[in-house]
Chain A
Amino acid sequence: MIGGLLMIVRRSLRQHALSTFVTVLSAALGSGLVMAVFVVAEQSERAFAGGPVGFDAVLGARGSQLQLVLNTVFHLETSPGNIPWSLYQEVKSDRRVDLAIPYAVGDNYRGYRIVGTTQEMFTEFEYQEGEKFELRPGGEIFEPLLADAVIGSTVAADLGLRVGSEIQPFHGLQFDESLQHNEVYRVVGVLKPTNSPSDRVVWIPIEGIFRMGGHVLRGTGEVYQAESGVAIPDEHKEVSAVMLKFKGGNSTGMYFDNLINRQGKVATLAWPIGSSMAELFDKLGWVNRILSMVAYLVVAVAAGSILASLYNTMNERRREFAILRALGARRSTVFSAIVLEAGTIAGLGALLGFAFYFAVLAAAAGIVREQTGVVIEQFAWHPVLLWTPLGMLLLGALAGCLPAYKAYATDVASNLLPAS
């Protein structure tokens, strides 16, 4: 019996190859889109908001916590402003603070952000929990008072830079060829890939940012320009942000949150970092809902096209059903054959949907990585990868029920033989 059903389905799919192909394609598009929307949304949120970050908070200028996090953790957006060096020293010396690393931005090299920082970025900082930057063989960390640069792996690969290469920074965070500084930095180290936004960064000593031609410091509120060979007094210095790792976890975080965000007026503490990004994804939730609705709509259209394509063949197949019935096939057998056919189309679509899904995910992952350096896991498990094909299969089978009923109701005698 099963063999008979399969033979009927196989023959019919082959006989209606074009409409089968189109409906399979629409089912693939629908299921692929649903899987892609859910997985891209979850993976993006996980990569941006849920990823393990090796520090607890970011201290920066008064303003948006989200902007602060985007600027320092993901090297996106502009800096909300600067905070005085004294504030950095104050938190660094606090017994509750385990690690405080200054972070200064304002320049780029051919579109890749230049970040001024200290050696601790390479010796103490963990870009992910338990993961420190590692240099490729032959490289070393920059010297604080030299025009040295350490570059991320993507910068090195894209611009063909290696240890010994020289770079001449451009002013601003957006690349503008007309705004090149006179200073020349020598690449002393290339970092191993981290699959994080740091791969897209050029690291230089923070002193280099202070002394870059045209840069002014306003640590005291008055304009100060560094002079060659003259030490910069600390009161003039300022930084874009300070990355903080606390001792004592949440209680310290709450203490500083209270101190800086609620009582203070000078700076902002982005803590906890993940919640700032989660807030962004919450705000962008409507985009996901719209995308999900579009995906569901495509699935519904796919189910509708399965129904329509099968239903349209029912008239031409009445004789076939009558012959099958005359051979001994039961009404339920004919009904099952059509439902199985619809389910097969949906099932093939769901299988092909995985190809579509992987293509969309690869494209999305490529774009996100290129734009942000954030890596989206392409082969991560998500329940949607199970229930979407199953749902498509069920929906396809349901869509087959109406044409199946038409086949079920086919009158054998009147469709079989010419009357005599």
Chain B
Amino acid sequence: MALLEIRDLKKAYRSPEGELHSVLDVPELDLGANEELALRGASGSGKTTLLNVIAGILRPDSGRVLVGGADIAGMSESSRDALRARSIGYVCQTFNLLQGYSALENVLLGMMFGPGSDRAFATKLLGELGLSDRLNYRPGQLSVGQQQRVALARALANRPKLVLADEPTGNLDPTRAQEALDVIRRLCSEHGASLLLVSHDQAILDRFERSVELAEINRAASVAGGAA
């Protein structure tokens, strides 16, 4: 059984004028355990919406989204929150680190909503990412690359089955982007997490064995140009 299984997923937004705009229409998408998948999506192709639906942040209008066999689409909001905390790590382009918290606290806070705080593991993770001497630094005191690694540590802190990465290297120069990608892939592999990464950077996508054009699987994007 695939770790992530999407069937007939549909999501639409209503515009201020009241018109319904279809954003996602994905008949099928699978991702197995410990697998990697790269999705290439141009701006407006619905990739962030897709990741938000998989993460349980947004509820699909119809279809099924199974993560580890559990259908997110049929869950209550609090159940989706719990599943997200336990099983899904989410890294995005802007990292979404909490500014008032240190690197270590950012990671610990993510753990507190999941299986519980594990300071030793959080410290170990940050150490693996070369941040042992930056544990008590706040995001504003870290470089962009370091912030990105903190976000990655936080995404992996709850030992998720699935890591969603939305343009995780978008803020990095090409060299650092490749290095960051190596770290993400290595850590996901070491921690047994599947990786679903979306990017518009061909150089990044070329590194993946399995890479899919989002427009090819999202009929809404191919028909209407999409809007997320």
Contacts and interface: CB of A to CB of B under 8 A. Distances in A.
A418 B96 CA distance: 11
A416 B57 contact: yes
Contact of B117 (A3, A15, A320, A419): A3
Interface string B19-55: 0000000000000000000000101111111001001
Given A11-B100, A325-B81, A328-B81, A417 B48 contact: yes
B101 A420 contact: no
Interface string A304-328: 0000000000000001101111111
Contacts of A327: 84-85, 109-110, 113, 154
B85 A413 contact: no
Interface string A10-32: 01101100000000000000000
Contacts of B86: 328
Given A3-B117, A328-B110, A419-B228, A320 B98 contact: yes
Nearest to B108: A7
Contacts of B47: 420
Contacts of A325: 57, 81
B226 to A, nearest CB: 9
Nearest to A333: B113
Contact of A419 (B48, B81, B113, B114): B48
Interface residues of A, number: 30
Contact of A11 (B78, B101, B154): B101
B167 to A, nearest CB: 8
A416 B77 contact: no
Interface string B204-228: 0000000000000000000000001
B5 interface: no
A329 interface: yes
Interface in B87-113: 90, 92-94, 96-101, 105, 108-110, 112-113
A335 to B, nearest CB: 12
Nearest to B117: A3
Contacts of A323: 96-98
Contacts, number: 99
B58 interface: yes
Contact of B113 (A4, A412, A420): A4
A320 B52 CA distance: 17
B81 A329 contact: yes
A275 interface: no
Contacts of B44: 420
Contacts of A1: 112-113
B43 A420 contact: yes
Nearest to B51: A417
Contacts of A8: 109
Contact of A328 (B114, B117, B228): B114
Contacts of B113: 1, 4, 324, 327-330, 333
Interface-centre pick from B55, B96, B101, B158 (highest chain A CB count, 10 A)? B96
Contacts of A322: 96
Contacts of B187: none
B84 A328 contact: yes
Nearest to A329: B113
Contacts of B93: 417-418
B129 interface: no
Contacts of A330: 77-78, 81-82, 113
Nearest to B227: A419
A12 B100 contact: yes
Interface-centre pick from B41, B47, B52 (highest chain A CB count, 10 A)? B52
Nearest to B155: A327
Interface string B113-154: 110010000000000000000000000000000000000001
A331 interface: yes
Interface in B60-82: 77-78, 81-82
Nearest to B97: A323
B165 to A, nearest CB: 12
Contact of A4 (B46, B84, B97, B112): B112
A322 to B, nearest CB: 8
Contacts of B43: 420
A11 B93 CA distance: 25
28 contacts: A11-B98, A11-B100, A12-B100, A14-B100, A320-B99, A322-B96, A326-B55, A326-B90, A326-B96, A327-B154, A328-B85, A328-B86, A328-B113, A328-B114, A330-B82, A330-B113, A331-B77, A331-B78, A333-B113, A413-B49, A413-B57, A417-B166, A418-B48, A420-B43, A420-B44, A420-B46, A420-B166, A420-B167
Given A326-B84, A327-B84, 8 more contacts: A1-B113, A330-B81, A333-B113, A413-B49, A417-B92, A417-B94, A417-B166, A419-B228
9 interchain residue pairs of minimum CB distance: A328-B85, A4-B112, A328-B113, A420-B48, A327-B110, A11-B100, A330-B81, A323-B96, A15-B100
Interface of A: 1, 3-4, 7-8, 11-12, 14-15, 319-320, 322-333, 412-413, 416-420
